[in-house]
Structure 1
Amino acid sequence: MAQIVPINTREDIFPQYLNTPIGNLIEYHNFNKHFTKSDKKYDHAEILIGMCMDNRKRLNIPEKFAYVIRTGAGNLRTSEFKVSYAIAVGGVRAIALIGHNNCGMANLKSKKQKFIDGLVEVGWNRRAAEDHFENLAPMFEIGNEMDFLITETNRLRLRYPKILVAPMMYQLEDNRLYLLENDQQVSQPSGQSA
């Protein structure tokens, strides 16, 4: 399993991400890099950020810097057209896939009864609620947060080979972004140094 790497200074950012939208994202969020009127203004998004819909997370980024798709666990499998649109029409050349600890989409089977009971409480028929869970939970189950993040990053890198894709973890305890230890050896798209 990958280990998370704290990013406390600019020098901690992996070389393949320095001076890219990925590096800028880390600097904006972790280091409170200023984005005032005198700083660079963004005419269009430079990065696509895929992250969880969880309400405990908020990124510190400038206006117009990023497209942001928020889904359960940051799972972009069901948002493929939106990802392609951001790349093909929006012109982004970097994707930050941000997972987080204590994700509700991890180990969904353990939440099955609560899910069903919660829908029944708001008026669903119990059988319909059970079917709803059984039919859709497999699409959204991520298992372990880190394993899913690595798998989804690799899938996106294969699907969009010329796009820089960076897996990151957001730790809820300190609201900071982390990189993944084993990501330092991953080959990068043309024009990117490893």
Structure 2
Amino acid sequence: MGTLIKISSQEDIFPEYRGTPIELLLGYHNLNWEYSQYTEAQMLIGMCMDHRKHLRIPENFAYIIRSGGANLRYTEFKVSYAIAVGGVRYIVVIAHNNCGMVNLMSKQKAFIQGLTESAGWKKEWAEEHFRYFAPMFEIGNEIDFVLSESKRLKLRYPKIEVAPMYYRLDDNKLYLIKED
């Protein structure tokens, strides 16, 4: 588990992130820094597809991959592309509270009903679809998942700085996560 660190001033940003695009992200989003102009992405941001989150960042500042639960396992080629071709050296993985990918099994009935009624699927197709994919996308606890996903990416890309963050829907702010 990790401890959430509120970023209310530049001094709250961890020393290892100062002078990096990670500091800029926190400055733009939480501290309302004036935007600089960018012609190339400075970082990759992996975050949940949830519609309730919006980052305050300048145009062209970051590649953004949005995937349920900020799970980048199944978009790894895109991560590799951003690094190899896009030249990014910083990745931020952002989880958020009240994520729909937590406790997916409790949503099975609604998922199946939604696909049959809204998408016109046969019930059997929807059931099989859920059984096959839910285990891949279940993230458990948001903070634990974002910490483990960040560690996984650090091992996969050892020269890349990877920072886990948390987005609180209550205040629309980013928090750093200090590992306990």
For residue 22 of structure 1, what is the amino acid of its counterpart? I
Does residue 103 (structure 1) correspond to residue 103 (structure 2)? The answer is: no
User: Equivalents in 2 of 1:173, 1:110: separation in Å?
Assistant: 23
What does residue 188 of structure 1 align with?
Answer: none
Give a deviation string over 1:102-155, Cα, whole Å, max 9, x none: 000011001001100111112111111000000111111101111111110000
Does residue 179 (structure 1) correspond to residue 176 (structure 2)? The answer is: yes
User: Equivalents in 1 of 2:145, 2:162: separation in Å?
Assistant: 14
**What is the CA RMSD across the aligned residues, in angstroms?**
0.9
User: Equivalents in 1 of 2:18, 2:179: separation in Å?
Assistant: 17
Alignment of structure 1 residues 8-23 onto 2, 5 Å: 8-23=8-23
Does residue 29 (structure 1) correspond to residue 25 (structure 2)? The answer is: no
Does residue 83 (structure 1) correspond to residue 76 (structure 2)? The answer is: no
Match of 1:143 among 140, 156, 160: 140
Q: CA deviation at 1:76?
A: 0.4
2:2 partner SS: coil
What does residue 69 of structure 1 align with?
Answer: 65
2:94 partner SS: strand
Q: CA deviation at 1:86?
A: 0.2
1:69 partner SS: strand
Q: Which runs of 5+ in 2 are unaligned?
A: none
User: Equivalents in 1 of 2:126, 2:158: separation in Å?
Assistant: 40
2:34 partner SS: coil
Match of 1:161 among 150, 155, 158: 158
User: What is the aligned-residue identity percentage?
Assistant: 61
User: Equivalents in 2 of 1:91, 1:74: separation in Å?
Assistant: 21
User: Equivalents in 2 of 1:106, 1:149: separation in Å?
Assistant: 12
Give a deviation string over 1:70-124, Cα, whole Å, max 9, x none: 0101110010000000000000000010000000001100100110011111211
Give a deviation string over 1:51-85, Cα, whole Å, max 9, x none: 00100000000011100000101110010000000
User: Equivalents in 2 of 1:32, 1:60: separation in Å?
Assistant: 8
2:179 partner SS: helix
TM-score of the aligned structures, taking structure 2 as reference length: 0.98
Tell me the matched-pair count.
Answer: 179
Give a deviation string over 1:15-57, Cα, whole Å, max 9, x none: 000110000000000011111xxxx321200100000010000
TM-score of the aligned structures, taking structure 1 as reference length: 0.91
1:33 partner SS: coil
